[in-house]
Amino acid sequence: MSDMKHKFEDALMEFERALDYYLTPAHRKDDTVWRAARYSLLSGGKRVRPRLLFMTCRLFGKDPPQEAMAFAAAIEMIHTYSLIHDDLPAMDDDDFRRGQPSCHRQFGEATAILAGDLLLNRAFEIASASCVKSGRPEAVSALWWMATMAGGEGMILGQSLDLAMDGRCREGNMIQYTDSTNTSAKDGLTSIEQVREMVTLKTACLIRAAVGAGARLSGASKDEETSLDQFAASLGLLFQIRDDILDVVSDKELLGKTIGKDVRDLKKTYVTLLGKEQARLALAEAARDAEKALDALDEKGRATSELRSYIKVLETRVS
């Protein structure tokens, strides 16, 4: 078991080298926009989504599919671009990220916007290059899935709902709430169901992208895909609730970003809406749902212990 753990850590070191490689263009690597993209992408981070992609692949075989590294890198790039844009003054206006000044604090707003664009676009460059190389339709399907989860019916929609809830979504000089959020939001009240929907889109979709891409690349059956997607959706919810809790119980040094911001900015989160204790109960429930979704895979003879351990890791993480 410790041998296996060792091997997985090796795979992650290989992943860090691959990230560096994918963000080193043939020319102009010292151009500001590339330096900004590298600054944000290569500054640590927990690599939750790549880990999940690799773990999902390991359910189906010892050696990862040939496109796994490119897709893991692509999804981490999408995650990082979303953080860069989210930190901008017009959005969350955050000065710190991953323990260092946020991208726009270091490189200015214009470059940060472009560096985010670069990372989102680069994700599709390297994922499509791996599809061209392998010629496998499974990889094209994984690319489509990743794009869909990251887009305007997935993560970006979640971000838009988040803005609307905080009243930061302005049209002309009027604060506008989206037509589709219900009356209570228009009254300035947000229900926990709305927060759940927002979180499911904003955070869980990219977790689903990682797990679903791993499943598709590995040739999972439709049933297995469905179970894994349910697992990923619950795990994504868990991840965000834990984030909400850490915003009030952690400290800046440990978390690498500003603390207590949700309360200060009147953000709608599990903690600001339900309180810490109820949020902890919701966290435990999400963990149980994630576990339950894996049962179907056990029945198919897949060894889910690694994924089960990772639920615990994310549930109890302190940063």
Which residues would be at the binding site for its own copies (CB under 8 A)? 25-28, 30-34, 37, 81, 85, 88, 90-91, 106-111, 113-114, 116-118, 120-122, 124-125, 128-129, 131-132, 135, 137, 140-141, 143-144, 147-148, 150-153, 156-157, 159-161, 163-164, 168-172, 176, 178-180
* For its own copies, the closer CB: 71 or 231: 71
Sort residue 94 into left (φ over 0), alpha (ψ -120 to 50) or beta.
beta
Whose Cβ is closer to its own copies: residue 84's or residue 286's? 84
Q: What are phi and psi of 50, to 5 degrees?
A: -60, -45
Place of tokens 């003879």: 301
To its own copies, the closest distance from the beta carbon of 117 in angstroms equals 6
- Specify the 3-state DSSP secondary structure of 174: strand
Bridge partners for 313 per DSSP: none
Q: Shortest Cβ distance from residue 101 to its own copies (Å)?
A: 9
Residue 28 vs 62, nearer CB to its own copies: 28
Look up residue 65 and give its DSSP letter: P
Residue 128, CB half-sphere, CA atoms under 13 Å: how many?
8
Q: Which amino acid is at 229?
A: D
For the bound state, the minimum distance from the C-beta of residue 87 to its own copies, rounded and expressed in Å, comes to: 11
SS3 152: coil
In Å, what is the CA distance from 175 to each residue of 88, 152, 264, 269?
19, 21, 19, 20
In the bound complex, what is the minimum distance in angstroms from residue 205's beta carbon to its own copies? 11
Q: What is the gyration radius of the CA atoms in the chain, in angstroms?
A: 19
Q: Name the minimum Å distance from CB 122 to its own copies.
A: 6
Instruction: State the nearest-atom distance from the C-beta of 212 to its own copies, in Å.
Output: 14
Backbone CA torsion sign across 170, 161, 47, 119: negative
Q: Sign of the C-alpha dihedral, residues 90, 268, 286, 138?
A: negative
Place of tokens 């040739």: 219
Please identify, using beta-carbon distances, which residue of 221 and 278 lies nearer to its own copies: 221
CB 228 within 8 A of CB 242: no
For its own copies, which is the closer residue by CB, 102 or 250? 102
Q: Which is nearer to its own copies, 159 or 250 (CB)?
A: 159
Contacts of 209 (CB under 8 A, 6+ apart): 49, 75, 78, 145, 146, 149, 150, 154
- CB of residue 32 to its own copies, shortest distance in Å: 5
In the complex with its own copies, the residue whose CB is nearer, 31 or 298, is: 31
Least distance in angstroms from the C-beta of 166 to its own copies: 10
Cβ closest to its own copies, residue 75 vs residue 283: 75
